Structure 1
Amino acid sequence: MFIVLLRYDAPLEQIDYALPDHRAWVEKQYEAGLFIASGRQRPRTGGVILTRPMPRGKLDALLATDPWVVQKLVKCEVIEFEATRTAAEVVMLNEAVLTT
């Protein structure tokens, strides 16, 4: 699994201007079953995305299509981790991914 930290690298006015495109991109990833959770950081310095397990190369290619990344409005930090303990819902998500 991955945690993606998006750090704003542009003024909030530019971030907000591109927000509808970013939200549409995020929605596509949920529809594709790739994201588990996402949202703003507090204070508003960036965002966080929790992904389902996938190859790192696939994630990197996916992030490169985010309108915020394309427009160089954010920097991404990717943290890969192996969950050793999870809520039952997350275990079911992992098993579903491993069987597809």
Structure 2
Amino acid sequence: MFVVLLNYTAPIEEIDYVLPDHAQWLAKQYEQGLFLASGRRNPRIGGVIITRPMARGKLDAILATDPFSVQHLARYEVIEFSPTKTAPELRLVNEAVPH
């Protein structure tokens, strides 16, 4: 699984202008079952995405299609982790924990 930290590199006005396109991009990832959670960071300096397990190369390719990436409005820090403990609600998405 991955946690992706987005850090805005442009003024918030530019971010807000592209936000509807970014929201559509996020919706597509959820429809394909790739993302588990996402939202704004507080303070509003970027965002956070939690993904399902996948190959790192696949995630990099997905992130490259984010309108924030395409328009060079954000940097991405990708943190890979292997969850060893999961809340009951998330056990079906954690391949590392026996069900």
Which category of TM-score, normalised to the shorter sequence, fits these structures?
A: over 0.9
Would you say 1:65 and 2:39 are equivalent positions? no
Q: Distance in 2 between matches of 1:40 and 1:60?
A: 20
SS of residue matched to 1:7: strand
Matches within 5 A, 1:28-67: 28-67=28-67
Instruction: Give the alignment's Cα RMSD to 1 decimal.
Output: 0.7
Q: Paired residues, what number?
A: 95
Kept in 1: contact 2:86–2:94 (CA 8 A):
no
Deviation at 1:89, TM superposition (A): 2.2
Residue in 1 that maps onto 2:23: 23
Residue in 2 that maps onto 1:79: 79
Q: Which runs of 4+ in 1 moved over 2 A?
A: none
Q: Distance in 1 between matches of 2:89 and 2:68?
A: 30
Deviation at 1:90, TM superposition (A): 1.7
> Residue 60 of structure 1 aligns to which amino acid in structure 2?
D
Residue in 1 that maps onto 2:3: 3
Deviation at 1:91, TM superposition (A): 1.5
Q: Distance in 2 between matches of 1:11 and 1:24?
A: 21
Give per-residue Cα distances to partners, 1:23-74, cap 9 Å, x unaligned. 0000000000000000000000000000000000000000000000000000
Q: Identical aligned pairs, as a percentage?
A: 66
Q: Distance in 2 between matches of 1:67 and 1:25?
A: 8
- Unaligned 5+ runs, structure 1: 96-100
| TM-score, length-scaled by structure 2 | 0.94
SS of residue matched to 1:78: strand
> Residue 32 of structure 2 aligns to which amino acid in structure 1?
A
| TM-score, length-scaled by structure 1 | 0.93
Q: Distance in 1 between matches of 2:88 and 2:32?
A: 21
